[in-house]
Structure 1
């Protein structure tokens, strides 16, 4: 089973499950945890090959469906019937996969730095990465992608955190995760029609140059979706502007809990 940490208040408090992106681990939510624990039971999960989930076994042909099943195994183990999901970057693909499999497990979903497709620029970068992944040290690729995704000075903390956590992965695990991107476009297109009736919030940094525009197009074309742009933030907007990220996500999740008063948040 995947490694997880949970923070439980009581049965009447809603759950929120946090899913990190590729190369990170559950520690990337360090700027959300204190605020979230005030209002929710919180579940943090390390995806396979990340953080303390180092014993996962990859099989040929494994996909986001298998990764989603591992997250659902943790929910079943903890007897969590319904939860809000909050994800960042590639973690948003895992969440969308879970939504396709078991939409009844969702209170809502928050997709931060959402990956909705790989456009020509990102497809080119991924193709280069796939060509070079077995030739050069994977940390060279990680560092390059970190600078491309988070190029500005105000992205520095998120960029350093991403590279620092990625160093804990072995090259084989990195290659396995990178290989999942080959099939991501048709896979995502099959899911992004109505998000299975689940209330969905996209939270994007206005400086997320690779993914912002495509996320906006998905919101325009689908139902049950809300869009929030965060100023002075890049791809990893939960680290670049945590106060704003926390405010908009907590309010959204409380709006989709029955008989619960909205918390008083920052002005």
Structure 2
């Protein structure tokens, strides 16, 4: 089972489950933990090969989004959580989307930060470039390169440093498995974009998230139960870069009737 941590002493309070992105860990939610733990029950999960889950043996089989989502469901079932809000960032938003598709009964409200819903032409070129370089250069160099491409500005630096620090804990074989998963992500994302979410969803993106924001705008227009908030002067990792605004948006959304 994945490594996880729970917080909150009020067992009557609603659950919020936080899902990090590729290369990160549950440590990226530290600003949300301080804000939400006094009011909610919190579940932080480290995905396969990430954070505390990096110590666990991993399958040699190629990863699929169904398998990784099943890991999350296993933790929820183990804790007997029948329903939870879900908050995700970056690739974690794909997993929450997939979870809402596979087990809508588990989902209360969904918050998808820095959502990845399509790889544009530039992203596909970069991914294919990385496909050829991953056996030539150290994987961490490749990750750092992508971090700079996705988060290039000075105000993105804290997010960039955080993700690079967490990525250093990934083993090389684990990085390769996740990289291969994302190489073919567009087919999966197309199916997800065509799925009407049953749960209410709030997409929160930064105005400077130039690689992923256009597809989020297009998807939200097709989702009847979804809305988008764009944070000005903010990059991809909105929960870190503009944590106060992000937390307030999430809390207001969760309290809406």
Report what 1:259 is aligned to: none
Indicate how the Cα distance of structure 1 residues 233 and 120 shifts in structure 2: closer, same or farther if over 3 A, else same.
Answer: same
- Alignment match, 1:261: none
Task: Tell me the number of residue pairs that the alignment of Structure 1 and Structure 2 aligns.
Answer: 256
By how many angstroms is 1:90 displaced? 0.6
Cα offset for 1:11? Answer: 3.0
The residue number in structure 2 matching 1:130 is 131
- Secondary structure at the aligned position of 2:131 is classed as helix
Distance 1:32 1:123 in 2: 31
Query: Which structure 2 residue ranges, 5 or more long, are not aligned?
Result: none
Partner of 1:12: 12
Q: Supply the distance in 1 between the matched residues of 2:213 and 2:57 (Cα, whole angstroms).
A: 32
User: C-alpha deviations, 1:75-134, integer Å up to 9, x for none?
Assistant: 011110000000000111111111111011011111100000111111111111122112
Is 1:196 the counterpart of 2:197 in the alignment? yes
State the TM-score, normalized to the length of structure 1: 0.93
Whole-angstrom CA distance in 2 between matches of 1:81 and 1:218: 28
| In structure 2, distance between residues paired with 1:114 and 1:135 | 30
Measure, in 2, the Cα distance between the counterparts of 1:231 and 1:240: 11
TM-superposition CA deviations, 1:34-68 (whole Å, max 9, x none): 11112210000000000010214224343011000
Matched, 1:149 2:150: yes
**More deviation, 245-254/4-13:** 4-13
Match in the other structure for 2:256 = 255
Whole-angstrom distance in 1 between the partners of 2:85 and 2:196: 14
Q: Secondary structure at 1:68's aligned position in 2? A: helix
Question: Partners of 1:170 and 1:189 in 2: how far apart?
Answer: 30
Structure 2: distance between partners of 1:184 and 1:254: 33
Pairwise CA RMSD? 1.2
Aligned pairs (5 A) from 1:46-61? 46-54=46-54, 55-61=56-62
TM-score by length of 2: 0.96
Q: Describe the SS at the equivalent of 1:196.
A: coil
- For residues 226-265 of structure 1, the aligned pairs below 5 Å read 226-255=227-256
